Amino acid sequence: NAGVTQTPKFQVLKTGQSMTLQCAQDMNHEYMSWYRQDPGMGLRLIHYSVGAGITDQGEVPNGYNVSRSTTEDFPLRLLSAAPSQTSVYFCASSYGQGKTRRQYFGPGTRLTVT
Amino acid sequence: AQKVTQAQTEISVVEKEDVTLDCVYETRDTTYYLFWYKQPPSGELVFLIRRNSFDEQNEISGRYSWNFQKSTSSFNFTITASQVVDSAVYFCALSEAQYFGNEKLTFGTGTRLTIIP
Protein backbone atom coordinates (compact mmCIF):
# COMPACT_ATOMS: atom_id res chain seq x y z
CA ASN A 1 0.00 0.00 0.00
CA ALA A 2 1.15 3.52 -0.80
CA GLY A 3 -0.80 4.84 2.20
CA VAL A 4 -1.84 8.49 1.96
CA THR A 5 -0.34 10.40 -0.95
CA GLN A 6 -0.42 14.12 -1.57
CA THR A 7 0.47 16.14 -4.63
CA PRO A 8 2.16 18.47 -5.20
CA LYS A 9 4.83 18.54 -2.48
CA PHE A 10 5.53 22.21 -3.04
CA GLN A 11 3.53 24.96 -4.70
CA VAL A 12 3.86 28.70 -5.13
CA LEU A 13 0.77 30.69 -6.05
CA LYS A 14 0.06 34.31 -6.65
CA THR A 15 -2.74 36.00 -4.78
CA GLY A 16 -6.04 35.33 -6.48
CA GLN A 17 -4.99 32.16 -8.26
CA SER A 18 -6.83 28.93 -7.74
CA MET A 19 -5.54 25.42 -7.33
CA THR A 20 -6.40 21.97 -6.05
CA LEU A 21 -4.34 20.01 -3.56
CA GLN A 22 -4.71 16.33 -4.26
CA CYS A 23 -5.02 13.62 -1.62
CA ALA A 24 -5.49 9.93 -2.21
CA GLN A 25 -5.43 6.83 -0.03
CA ASP A 26 -5.41 3.19 -1.02
CA MET A 27 -6.38 1.71 2.33
CA ASN A 28 -10.17 1.89 1.78
CA HIS A 29 -10.49 4.26 4.73
CA GLU A 30 -13.89 5.82 5.28
CA TYR A 31 -12.70 8.97 6.98
CA MET A 32 -10.49 11.61 5.44
CA SER A 33 -9.56 15.09 6.57
CA TRP A 34 -7.44 18.12 5.78
CA TYR A 35 -5.32 20.02 8.30
CA ARG A 36 -3.12 23.04 7.96
CA GLN A 37 0.01 23.60 10.00
CA ASP A 38 1.20 27.09 10.80
CA PRO A 39 4.20 28.03 12.94
CA GLY A 40 3.35 28.07 16.62
CA MET A 41 -0.24 26.94 16.05
CA GLY A 42 -0.05 23.20 15.67
CA LEU A 43 -2.40 21.58 13.16
CA ARG A 44 -5.92 22.84 12.61
CA LEU A 45 -8.75 20.98 10.92
CA ILE A 46 -10.02 22.52 7.68
CA HIS A 47 -12.59 20.01 6.34
CA TYR A 48 -13.34 16.37 6.84
CA SER A 49 -15.35 13.59 5.23
CA VAL A 50 -16.97 10.55 6.80
CA GLY A 51 -17.49 8.81 3.48
CA ALA A 52 -18.03 9.33 -0.23
CA GLY A 53 -20.48 12.16 -0.82
CA ILE A 54 -20.35 13.46 2.76
CA THR A 55 -18.20 16.38 3.88
CA ASP A 56 -18.28 18.87 6.71
CA GLN A 57 -16.39 21.89 7.98
CA GLY A 58 -13.66 21.87 10.55
CA GLU A 59 -12.17 24.67 12.59
CA VAL A 60 -10.81 26.84 9.75
CA PRO A 61 -12.87 26.17 6.58
CA ASN A 62 -13.01 29.66 5.08
CA GLY A 63 -11.37 29.93 1.67
CA TYR A 64 -11.39 26.18 1.04
CA ASN A 65 -13.75 23.78 -0.68
CA VAL A 66 -13.78 20.00 -0.67
CA SER A 67 -15.68 17.18 -2.28
CA ARG A 68 -15.57 13.40 -1.92
CA SER A 69 -16.78 11.61 -5.00
CA THR A 70 -14.84 8.40 -4.28
CA THR A 71 -13.57 6.67 -1.18
CA GLU A 72 -9.99 7.08 -2.36
CA ASP A 73 -9.77 10.78 -3.17
CA PHE A 74 -10.34 13.93 -1.13
CA PRO A 75 -9.13 17.05 -2.99
CA LEU A 76 -8.86 20.45 -1.33
CA ARG A 77 -9.61 23.48 -3.50
CA LEU A 78 -8.41 27.01 -3.00
CA LEU A 79 -10.69 29.20 -5.11
CA SER A 80 -8.81 32.48 -4.72
CA ALA A 81 -5.53 32.10 -2.88
CA ALA A 82 -4.56 34.63 -0.23
CA PRO A 83 -1.23 35.11 1.57
CA SER A 84 -2.94 33.94 4.78
CA GLN A 85 -3.24 30.52 3.19
CA THR A 86 0.52 30.10 3.12
CA SER A 87 0.94 26.95 5.17
CA VAL A 88 1.77 23.27 5.16
CA TYR A 89 -1.27 21.15 4.37
CA PHE A 90 -1.69 17.61 5.60
CA CYS A 91 -4.28 15.12 4.45
CA ALA A 92 -5.20 12.24 6.73
CA SER A 93 -7.36 9.13 6.64
CA SER A 94 -8.50 6.80 9.36
CA TYR A 95 -10.03 3.42 9.92
CA GLY A 96 -9.61 0.66 12.39
CA GLN A 97 -11.16 -0.76 15.47
CA GLY A 98 -10.66 0.08 19.11
CA LYS A 99 -7.14 0.73 20.17
CA THR A 100 -5.80 0.47 16.65
CA ARG A 101 -7.86 3.33 15.30
CA ARG A 102 -5.70 6.27 14.35
CA GLN A 103 -5.09 8.85 11.67
CA TYR A 104 -2.67 8.14 8.85
CA PHE A 105 -1.13 11.35 7.58
CA GLY A 106 0.21 12.13 4.14
CA PRO A 107 3.64 13.72 3.64
CA GLY A 108 2.23 17.23 3.35
CA THR A 109 2.08 20.00 0.73
CA ARG A 110 3.97 23.21 1.38
CA LEU A 111 2.05 26.10 -0.16
CA THR A 112 3.32 29.65 -0.50
CA VAL A 113 1.02 32.43 -1.65
CA THR A 114 2.74 35.63 -2.73
CA ALA B 1 -14.86 23.11 23.27
CA GLN B 2 -11.80 20.96 23.58
CA LYS B 3 -8.32 22.33 24.06
CA VAL B 4 -4.80 20.94 24.28
CA THR B 5 -2.00 22.87 25.92
CA GLN B 6 1.68 22.13 25.48
CA ALA B 7 3.26 24.81 27.58
CA GLN B 8 6.84 23.85 26.72
CA THR B 9 7.61 25.51 23.40
CA GLU B 10 11.21 24.32 23.19
CA ILE B 11 13.33 21.95 25.24
CA SER B 12 17.01 21.13 24.88
CA VAL B 13 18.71 18.31 26.72
CA VAL B 14 22.05 16.59 26.46
CA GLU B 15 22.06 13.15 24.91
CA LYS B 16 21.28 10.29 27.31
CA GLU B 17 19.32 12.53 29.65
CA ASP B 18 15.67 11.80 30.34
CA VAL B 19 13.10 14.34 29.21
CA THR B 20 9.37 14.74 29.84
CA LEU B 21 7.03 16.57 27.50
CA ASP B 22 3.89 17.91 29.14
CA CYS B 23 0.38 17.83 27.73
CA VAL B 24 -2.71 19.19 29.47
CA TYR B 25 -6.14 18.87 27.88
CA GLU B 26 -9.64 20.19 28.37
CA THR B 27 -12.82 18.42 27.32
CA ARG B 28 -16.39 18.11 28.51
CA ASP B 29 -16.69 14.54 27.29
CA THR B 30 -16.25 11.64 29.65
CA THR B 31 -14.97 9.46 26.81
CA TYR B 32 -12.19 10.79 24.63
CA TYR B 33 -8.96 9.80 22.95
CA LEU B 34 -5.47 11.21 23.33
CA PHE B 35 -2.59 10.96 20.89
CA TRP B 36 1.07 11.80 20.55
CA TYR B 37 2.68 12.46 17.17
CA LYS B 38 6.31 13.09 16.29
CA GLN B 39 7.33 15.43 13.49
CA PRO B 40 11.02 15.01 12.63
CA PRO B 41 12.89 17.63 10.59
CA SER B 42 11.80 15.85 7.40
CA GLY B 43 8.26 17.05 8.13
CA GLU B 44 6.11 13.93 8.18
CA LEU B 45 3.86 13.12 11.10
CA VAL B 46 4.69 9.90 12.89
CA PHE B 47 2.05 8.30 15.11
CA LEU B 48 3.39 7.33 18.54
CA ILE B 49 0.44 6.38 20.73
CA ARG B 50 -3.32 6.49 21.18
CA ARG B 51 -4.86 6.36 24.65
CA ASN B 52 -8.54 5.92 25.48
CA SER B 53 -9.90 7.90 28.41
CA PHE B 54 -11.32 4.80 30.06
CA ASP B 55 -7.92 3.09 30.07
CA GLU B 56 -5.75 4.79 32.66
CA GLN B 57 -2.88 2.35 32.58
CA ASN B 58 0.43 3.93 31.79
CA GLU B 59 2.29 2.58 28.81
CA ILE B 60 5.92 1.91 28.01
CA SER B 61 7.38 1.26 24.58
CA GLY B 62 11.13 0.91 24.62
CA ARG B 63 12.58 4.24 25.71
CA TYR B 64 9.17 5.92 25.49
CA SER B 65 6.61 6.03 28.27
CA TRP B 66 3.34 7.84 28.76
CA ASN B 67 1.72 8.92 32.02
CA PHE B 68 -2.03 9.45 31.75
CA GLN B 69 -3.72 11.13 34.75
CA LYS B 70 -7.40 11.95 34.41
CA SER B 71 -7.41 13.73 37.77
CA THR B 72 -5.08 16.42 36.41
CA SER B 73 -6.15 16.12 32.73
CA SER B 74 -2.60 15.38 31.70
CA PHE B 75 -1.00 12.97 29.28
CA ASN B 76 2.75 13.42 29.62
CA PHE B 77 5.39 11.78 27.46
CA THR B 78 8.82 10.76 28.75
CA ILE B 79 11.83 9.77 26.70
CA THR B 80 14.45 7.87 28.66
CA ALA B 81 18.11 8.00 27.68
CA SER B 82 17.44 10.45 24.89
CA GLN B 83 19.17 10.14 21.53
CA VAL B 84 19.90 12.63 18.76
CA VAL B 85 17.28 10.89 16.60
CA ASP B 86 14.65 11.98 19.13
CA SER B 87 15.11 15.58 18.02
CA ALA B 88 11.76 16.61 16.59
CA VAL B 89 8.58 18.51 17.25
CA TYR B 90 6.13 16.51 19.34
CA PHE B 91 2.40 17.09 19.21
CA CYS B 92 -0.24 16.03 21.68
CA ALA B 93 -3.79 15.75 20.31
CA LEU B 94 -7.31 15.09 21.57
CA SER B 95 -10.41 13.60 19.93
CA GLU B 96 -13.76 13.65 21.67
CA ALA B 97 -15.99 10.59 21.68
CA GLN B 98 -18.83 12.24 19.86
CA TYR B 99 -16.52 12.43 16.92
CA PHE B 100 -15.38 8.85 17.17
CA GLY B 101 -14.98 7.61 13.70
CA ASN B 102 -14.59 11.14 12.43
CA GLU B 103 -11.39 11.52 14.41
CA LYS B 104 -11.52 15.29 14.48
CA LEU B 105 -8.28 15.98 16.24
CA THR B 106 -7.47 19.07 18.26
CA PHE B 107 -3.72 19.53 18.40
CA GLY B 108 -1.52 21.31 20.86
CA THR B 109 0.98 23.81 19.55
CA GLY B 110 3.83 21.33 19.84
CA THR B 111 7.09 21.08 21.74
CA ARG B 112 10.36 21.31 19.84
CA LEU B 113 12.83 18.91 21.40
CA THR B 114 16.53 19.22 20.64
CA ILE B 115 18.94 16.56 21.80
CA ILE B 116 22.48 17.89 22.08
CA PRO B 117 25.17 15.32 21.27
- What's residue A96's pLDDT? 57
B31 touches A at CB < 8 Å: no
- What's residue B22's pLDDT? 98
Which residue has better confidence, A5 or A96? A5
Average pLDDT over residues A29-55: 92
Question: Does the distance separating the beta carbons of A108 and B104 come in below 8 Å?
Answer: no
Average pLDDT over residues A16-41: 94
B45 touches A at CB < 8 Å: yes
pLDDT digits (tens, 9 = 90+) for B53-99: 888 788 888 999 999 999 999 999 999 999 999 999 999 999 876 55
- What's residue A36's pLDDT? 98
- What's residue B102's pLDDT? 57
Instruction: Decide if A35 contacts A64 (C-beta within 8 A).
Output: no
Say whether pLDDT at B100 is over 60.
no
B97 touches A at CB < 8 Å: no
- What's residue B68's pLDDT? 94
The CA distance from B106 to the nearest CA of chain A, in Å, is 7
B52 touches A at CB < 8 Å: yes
Say whether pLDDT at B16 is over 70.
yes
Residues sharing a CB contact under 8 Å with residue B37, sequence separation 6 or more, in sequence order = A105, B45, B46, B47, B48, B90, B91, B93
Which residue has better confidence, A62 or B60? A62
Residues sharing a CB contact under 8 Å with residue A27, sequence separation 6 or more, in sequence order = A1, A3, A4, A93, A95, A104
Residues sharing a CB contact under 8 Å with residue A78, sequence separation 6 or more, in sequence order = A13, A18, A19, A20, A21, A63, A64, A85, A111
Name the residue facing A42 among B50, B52, B107 (closest C-beta). B107
Name the residue facing B101 among A50, A107, A108 (closest C-beta). A50
Average pLDDT over residues A20-38: 94
